[in-house]
Chain A
């Protein structure tokens, strides 16, 4: 049923599953205290209602846990001779094709948590602000390789505006 987002004759390169681990840890770190606080507060007023709130919050967290995994698994990219393809999204899906000749610059970013988990994000920029081509959850070595390769190909196929 997913033909429109099929890979372009070569398989998608998927991002590191560690990204899912990182995001899940963030979800738990933020979600568990909030859920616990809500359950306790409501529980002080009304015991069984507090229990219900706790159960709903737990179910929500479990659902978020599953969704995060699916979202991370949905990211993928493919390098072709003339362009880079990036796909993402479970509910709202997107596939973007960026020609190397249109790249203005490439960013590699990694926050403190990303670095601890050995992850980095590569983002491509063109003259169009709408171009949304970022690839999170790359191993730093792969991110650097991708950046250099994109830069080299962009140079070779550069076109003006």
Chain B
């Protein structure tokens, strides 16, 4: 009798311990994981209810309403980034190439995470290096911060030893449908044809 109660006590202790350690583990993972675009859930609305106002490379307003009407290929980055960003943008350029005439049905946006250095003029010159169809978007720093947050993107300045700074940022490229809902992500490690196929699939269903 006493024995049985002891066993039950020990078992409950073990359950408590397991739940406790699991909670700590989950908490630690959540704490170390940067606030990534892990909010990438298919169907997540990116434009609905969002309130930000940016400027495109030609100085025209760019608002959440501009994420509607046709699918959007959204890339985060900055022009002082010599390694990752050119890789992403040339990937988008290759995907547009692979799409052929269908490339006209998708909007490609390069949204800066460094609005202080990336003026509309700088963005315009930079995107033209890769493909004229890629639209550079910048704006007031506080508006860019709001937009990045609402799009689920991460960006944080990291000072460099020799002066200046770099911006750590979300590397995934997002594919939004014509209603501005997140549908899929693109990965530079996949062939550009895979990206083109994802866009084609979206075009055929929207």
Are A and B bound to each other? no
Chain B residues proximal to chain A, CB less than 8 Å = none
